[in-house]
Structure 1
Amino acid sequence: MKFVMLHGYSDSNKGDLAIVVASIHALRQLYPHAEIALQTVFPRDDPDFDFHHRFVTQLGITVEPMGIPSPYSDAQQHSFMRNLSAMWTLARSTLIQKLLFAWPSMRKSFPGSSKSLDQLRSADVVLLKGGQYIYNDQGGLRGLLYLWRILYPIKVARQLGKPVVMLGQSVGPVIGDRAKGMVSKALATCQRLMVREDLSAQLMETMGLKEITVVAPDMAFLTVPRKPTAASVEISRLVHGQWLGVTVVNWNFPGAEDPKARRAAYEAALANVCERAFRTFGVGIALFPQVTVRHHGESDMDMIRRVEAVLHFRGVDVLSIADDLWPDEFSFLYGRCRVLLGTRLHSCILAACAGCPVIAIRYQGYKTEGVMKGLGLEQYVHDINNVNEDLLFESVNQSLVQRDSISETVLARVASYRHELMAITKAEVDLACARP
């Protein structure tokens, strides 16, 4: 069976990589002779294209750009000229795809652009990779263009008569009637929609998609922790010490009146809670770069360095992991922490896979609440837009004190999720193949 998975992203986002790796392993276990191709949002002329996919290409799959990849081929700050160039690139890519769809014989004129369409033509099943990318939290024309680019491949796959299955997604937020109409129309053509929490399922119901929607855990819960092959000083210290793990997100606080002030408050709260945990419980602070891909010229590493510098100045025992690791290796290291204070959702999931208690800071949509509720940890969710330092520290306190009992509960949930995921994935793919 041939699978084409859409919307691949960068291996520098370890959460996205965890979803892709887990999905590939699951498909190969369920369909031993499966051929798998991943279509990525990065254009071939992106100078970091190979680096973005340095891990997944080791798994024996084909990686190619999507028919209409991201019109941005760099990670610089937005500007008028950069956005204008992106609009031209988007229009050109769309025109080429329409020409190739109507006249396949033109593939010799556009050999690079024809590969994605040829892969879709030869596929038995088209999969929408899990995660969260069907949204437009900023609204406006740019949000609509983004949604259109993300949804367009679904239309192409269905026009080719291919069954489309959406793997574990958090859909939304979707702002405005026009955007909701676009999402509803595109997803209605899919055979099956797997969403990873009840709030997304409720959104699907409001769009009239209840009958084809099923709730399933995030694919990354299939990750099995593995000890890193790297042996850096930081990893050695982490394995043998007592640590509070921390992940951050370099969030731009869309819609806030003063985004810089909000970011500073979030950063300060993290540093203060880490210092209090160090002085109260004697735990060191381990900072993890869950995502190092740059957006608008910045990445999570920029914030990690700032927090690390503040903690060093205050005399706190702190380290940051600089190793470029597989998701299962990150999961192992999270498991060596007493507790994880995680803003990046998949750092929380990978920690849970290793039985580490998790305190989550939500930052986009409702994906975090849904995942944490499923783990029985909904009382340990905080909002990035209004981080209360005392409440956050109290969550750290409770999690450290109840570490063993929380770990036991989390591991039981994860074990159940793994069985559920394999059964649901098999059932939904088979059902999609049986439908017209």
Structure 2
Amino acid sequence: MVKMRALLSGYYGKGNGGDEALLATLLQMLPSHVTPVVLSGNPEETRDRYNVETCDRMAPLAVLQALRSSDALIWGGGSLIQDVTSTISPFYYGGLMALAQKMGLKTVAWAQGIGPLLRPQTRWLARQTFGNCTKISVRDRASAALLSDWQIPCIIAPDPVWALESKPVPGLWDLPAPRVAVTLRSHPQLTETRLANLTRALVDFQKATQAFILLLPFQKSEDLSIAEAIQPHLKDVSKILCLEDPQLLKGVFRGVEMAIGMRLHSLIMAASVGCRCFALSYDPKVNRLMEDLEMPGWDLASLPDDPNLISLTWMEHYANGDPLSPEQIKSLVDRALIHRELLSQAFL
């Protein structure tokens, strides 16, 4: 097969475990005759971790040169095209895609979670760029419905991180068992009062279950301070685990009984290895996962004010909740591999 070069664009090199997991999975799924070049916020770190060629995502001349030397551009997964958390983000990714299309590159929108798109200009840009893509895969029904409204064909499959290979975490099995993983992130809906209630509930839950609590920051800049605020209330019965490698992050969940998470990919990783999950949703993408898997949880905006009720609910799920069955997990992993088939088709 003819060798090709593909420029990979996503929220890479920013220390976000979910986006790094998408990159790791994309590299795992890329056809062998395609050489990846990754646009990264930390090119040296990305190069060293994945053994790939990299380029500074914010260096315009270098990005332009990388486009000129590539045969394709891949939008590499996740909620890149949305204007809720950032108004600039969709213009960065959309502008890059439009430029690649103008230059005649193959363009692949891979494992996208589209929206919310609240502004007319971002909706217009999204419609134009998706409409000119060579191939598109999305990870949820809402994204597929939006593209269908725009009469743009796409393939739908579960988030590719379902199929990410995990690595064993050194020292994990030396920690006391049973273990419960907690992944919280900073967000306007996670107010001081709600964080205090969750902390109180976590203390009560730990006492009742005697579980060892693993506090997992998925993005240190957003999550570590919250883990550090909780940890003193759980002295000697908790540990903060900062892991940069997404395969190690996924490996953590192989050694825990239950996961309590805000982060979408913490819940996907946990569910994919047969762990009970309880969601705390701050975003429609988490709600979609809860609906698809019938996963228990609360929207943060409607979190109970009573820490006792929170802890009792967690205890009930810990004692009696069911993880996904091996058959359900196999089905989700097999269907997630559809994203790999799309890449194979795009680079024939």
**Structure 1 residue ranges without an equivalent (≥5):** 43-48, 70-111, 254-261
TM-score (norm 2): 0.89
Equivalent pairs: percent with the same residue?
Answer: 17
Separation in 2, partners of 1:201, 1:393: 37
- Inter-partner Cα distance in structure 1 for 2:207 and 2:49: 43
Contact kept, 8 Å, 1:220 with 1:346, in 2: the verdict is yes
Instruction: Select the residue among 159, 162, 167 that pairs with 1:218.
Output: 159
Residue of structure 1 equivalent to 2:48: 57
Secondary structure, in 3 states, of the residue corresponding to 1:407? Answer: coil
Partner of 1:127: 74
Distance 1:391 1:124 in 2: 55
| 1:157 and 2:157 correspond | no
Cα deviations across residues 93-135 of structure 1 (Å, max 9, x unaligned)? xxxxxxxxxxxxxxxxxxx643322322332332101111211
Shift of residue 14 of structure 1? 1.4
Partner of 2:323: 407
* 1:334 CA drift (Å): 1.9
Pairing partner for 1:197 from 96, 121, 140: 140
What is the CA–CA distance in structure 2 between the aligned matches of 1:328 and 1:282, rounded to whole Å? Answer: 28
Other-structure match for 1:354: 273
Q: Distance in 1 between matches of 2:270 and 2:253?
A: 5
Q: Tell me by how many angstroms 1:394 deviates.
A: 4.7
Aligned equivalent of 1:382, options 284, 288, 298: 298
Letter in 1 for 2:202: C
Deviation track 1:282-327 (CA, whole Å, cap 9, x = no partner) reads 22322111111x3xxxx31111111112334xxx7222224x3422
Aligned to 2:183: 247
Structure 1 residue identity aligned to 2:167 = R
- Taking the aligned partners of 2:177 and 2:199, their CA distance within structure 1 comes to 20
* Compared CA separation, residues 381 and 125, structure 1 to 2 (3 A): farther
Please say if residues 11 and 55 of structure 1, whose CA atoms lie closer than 8 Å, have aligned partners that are also in contact: no
Contact persistence 2:205–2:312 (CA under 8 A): no
CA shift in 2, pair 1:159/1:55, >3 Å: closer
Q: Which residue identity lines up with residue 164 of structure 1 in the other structure?
A: T
**Larger strand percent:** 2
2:207 aligns with one of 279, 283, 302: 279
- Residue type of the partner of 2:223? D
Q: Is the 8 A contact 2:18 2:266 kept in 1?
A: yes
In the superposition, relative to structure 1, how do residues 284 and 14 fare at CA in structure 2: closer, same or farther (>3 Å)? same
How do 1:2-21 residues align onto structure 2 when only pairs under 5 Å count? 2-10=5-13, 12-21=15-24
Bigger fraction of residues in helix: 1
Report if the CA contact (8 A) 1:9-1:16 is conserved. yes
How many residues are matched?
343
Cα distance between partner residues in 1 of 2:113 and 2:75: 12
Candidates 220, 225, 237, aligned match of 1:317? 237
Structure index of larger Rg: 1
Q: Any unmatched runs of 5+ in structure 2?
A: none
Superposed displacement of residue 392, structure 1: 4.0
Contact 2:55–2:66 (Cα < 8 Å) also in 1: no
Superposed, which structure 2 residues align to 1:31-430 within 5 Å?
31-40=31-40, 42=41, 49-50=42-43, 54-66=45-57, 69=58, 113-137=60-84, 143=87, 145-206=88-149, 208-209=150-151, 211-229=152-170, 231=171, 235-238=172-175, 240-253=176-189, 263-292=191-220, 294=221, 299-312=222-235, 317-322=237-242, 324-364=243-283, 366-374=284-292, 376-378=293-295, 380-388=296-304, 389=307, 392-402=310-320, 406-409=322-325, 411-426=326-341, 428-430=342-344
Task: Please tell me the residue identity of whatever aligns with 1:224.
Answer: E
Rounded Cα–Cα distance in structure 2 between residues aligned with 1:311 and 1:244: 13
Partner Cα distance (1:339, 1:281) in 2: 11
Q: Equivalent residue of 2:133, what SS? A: coil
* 1:385-418 CA-partner distances (Å, limit 9, x unpaired): 2212566435423331235xx3352x43332233
Shift of 1:245: 1.2
For residue 341 of structure 1, give the secondary structure of its aligned residue in structure 2. Answer: strand
Equivalent-residue separation in structure 1 for 2:229 and 2:251 (angstroms): 25
RMSD of equivalent CA atoms? 2.4
Q: 1:155 to 1:55 in 2, by over 3 A?
A: closer
Cα distance, 1:433 vs structure 2: 5.2
Find the aligned partners of 1:413 and 1:123 in 2 and give their Cα distance.
39
Structure-1 separation of matches of 2:309 and 2:165: 32
